[in-house]
Chain A
Amino acid sequence: SQELEQSPQSLIVQEGKNLTINCTSSKTLYGLYWYKQKYGEGLIFLMMLQKGGEEKSHEKITAKLDEKKQQSSLHITASQPSHAGIYLCGALGYNQGGKLIFGQGTELSVKP
């Protein structure tokens, strides 16, 4: 079955610094979703990538999907305390009948 591996598992950065979170799939992705979660709450949708080489940005967050559609990265520029939380990648695989799985998450802390 398909698995998603995120790295790093946790990250502490100084405010204003850039950072990158990676998500690697064991199989080709049909769709890759990035979410943010505050502890004990539901998930907030950030972006969805579907085409190989696709890149999307929202405010200071940029996500990319590689050409082979097996790896995605999430990049935050000039981090702020409001960026703190848990970032999760989720994916639909080909011929998986709508099964949508998630990575184990990356916990981000931003020091003021």
Chain B
Amino acid sequence: DGGITQSPKYLFRKEGQNVTLSCEQNLNHDAMYWYRQDPGQGLRLIYYSQIVNDFQKGDIAEGYSVSREKKESFPLTVTSAQKNPTAFYLCASRNASGGTGELFFGEGSRLTVL
């Protein structure tokens, strides 16, 4: 079935360590997005990519990095420079060139920094 797969679902890391969250889609979507969600809050945009080998900073990009080497993959690295990394991370993709263009979301990755 087509969809978005995020892994791992749960991740625990020590302070100061870099962490990479995986996001893979088989929907043939050009655009992919990473959001962060904190308890009781909405989604805040970290990075997004409209096409392979290109990406843009969202509203809270500091302390994060991404790559888009393949159309189906958009991994997010949470670096040690991110001051409050504990959060729920959501990846999404969309067909930006047709239809309603809605985002399709993965099930999320919950990162806890100890």
Contact = CB atoms under 8 A, between A and B. Distances in A.
Nearest to A33: B102
A97 B54 CA distance: 12
Contact of A100 (B40, B103, B107, B110): B103
A6 B45 CA distance: 17
- Contact-size category for B: 20 to 34
Contacts of A40: 88, 108, 110
B94 A100 contact: yes
Contacts of B35: 102
Given A40-B108, A41-B107, A105-B42, 7 more contacts: A6-B42, A43-B43, A48-B101, A97-B56, A101-B45, A101-B59, A102-B45
Interface of B: 31, 33, 35, 40-45, 48, 50, 56, 58-59, 88, 90, 92, 94, 96, 100-108, 110
12 contacts: A4-B42, A6-B42, A40-B110, A42-B90, A42-B108, A43-B103, A43-B105, A92-B101, A98-B31, A98-B50, A99-B45, A99-B58
